[in-house]
Copies of this chain bind each other. A is one copy, B any other.
Amino acid sequence: MSEKKINALIGQSGGPTAAINATLAGVVRGLRALPGCGEIYGAMNGIDGVIAGNIRDIGSRLRTEEELNALECTPSAALGSCRRKLPDVSDTEFYGKIFDRFAEYGIGMFFLIGGNDSMDTVDKLSRFAASAGSPVRIIGVPKTIDNDLEITDHTPGYGSAAKFIATVCEEIAGDCAVYTTKACTIVEIMGRDAGWLTAAAALPRLYGQVCPDLVYLPEVSFDYDEFINSVLALFEIKPNIVVAVSEGIRDAEGRYVGEGSQSGVRDIFGHRYLAGTGKVLEETVRARIGCKVRSIELSLPQRCAGHCLSAADIRESVMIGKAAAGFAAAGRTGEFAVLKRVPGLDYAIVPDAVPVSLVANKIKKVDRAFINAAGNNVTDELLRLIAPMIEGEVAVPMRGGLPERFELKE
Cβ-defined contact, A402 with B209, below 8 A: yes
Cβ-defined contact, A178 with B400, below 8 A: no
A178-B76, A270-B270 are contacts. A306–B401 as well, Cβ < 8 Å? no
Is A297 in the interface zone, CB < 8 Å from B? yes
- List residues 312-347 of chain A with CB under 8 A from any CB of chain B: 312
CA distance A16 to B283 in the complex (A): 25
Q: Quick one: which of B185, B400, B403, B405 contacts A206, CB cutoff 8 A?
A: B400
Cβ-defined contact, B175 with A300, below 8 A: yes
Specify which chain B residues have a CB less than 8 angstroms from the CB of A270 in the assembled complex: 267-271, 274
- Tell me the minimal C-beta distance from A238 to chain B in angstroms: 13
Q: Quick one: which of B274, B312, B393, B403 contacts A167, CB cutoff 8 A?
A: B403
Of A57-65, A229-237, A351-359, A384-392, the one touching chain B: A384-392
Interface residue count on the A side (C-beta < 8 Å): 69
Specify which chain B residues have a CB less than 8 angstroms from the CB of A403 in the assembled complex: 167, 170
Cβ-defined contact, B82 with A175, below 8 A: no
Determine how many copies of this chain the complex contains: 2
Specify which chain B residues have a CB less than 8 angstroms from the CB of A177 in the assembled complex: 76, 80
Which residue of the partner chain B has the closest CB to A17?
B175
Q: Please indicate which of the listed interface residues A77, A168, A180, A404 has the most CB atoms of chain B within 10 Å of its own CB.
A: A180
Specify which chain B residues have a CB less than 8 angstroms from the CB of A129 in the assembled complex: none
CA distance A401 to B75 in the complex (A): 18
Q: Quick one: which of B80, B168, B275, B400 contacts A390, CB cutoff 8 A?
A: B400
Q: Quick one: which of B82, B390, B400 contacts A179, CB cutoff 8 A?
A: B82
Cβ-defined contact, A167 with B299, below 8 A: no
Which residue of the partner chain B has the closest CB to A166?
B402
Which residue of the partner chain B has the closest CB to A18?
B171
CA distance A45 to B12 in the complex (A): 50
Cβ-defined contact, B402 with A180, below 8 A: no
Which residue of the partner chain B has the closest CB to A79?
B178
- List residues 372-410 of chain A with CB under 8 A from any CB of chain B: 387, 390-393, 398-405
Which residue of the partner chain B has the closest CB to A275?
B274
Cβ-defined contact, A167 with B48, below 8 A: no
Known: A45-B180, A76-B171, A391-B401. 14 other contacts (CB 8 A): A16-B174, A45-B178, A75-B171, A81-B179, A170-B402, A171-B301, A171-B305, A171-B306, A174-B306, A176-B300, A209-B404, A269-B270, A387-B401, A393-B401
What residues of chain A have their CB less than 8 Å away from a CB belonging to chain B? 12, 16, 45, 48, 74-77, 80-83, 163, 166-168, 170-172, 174-180, 185, 203-204, 206-207, 209, 267-271, 274-275, 279, 283, 294, 296-297, 299-301, 303-308, 310-312, 387, 390-393, 398-405
- 7 nearest A-B residue pairs (beta carbon): A270-B270, A390-B401, A175-B304, A76-B174, A81-B178, A391-B401, A171-B304
17 A–B contacts, CB within 8 A, in A order:
A76-B171, A81-B178, A81-B179, A82-B180, A168-B301, A170-B403, A171-B300, A171-B306, A172-B304, A174-B304, A174-B306, A296-B299, A297-B299, A301-B301, A308-B308, A310-B401, A391-B400
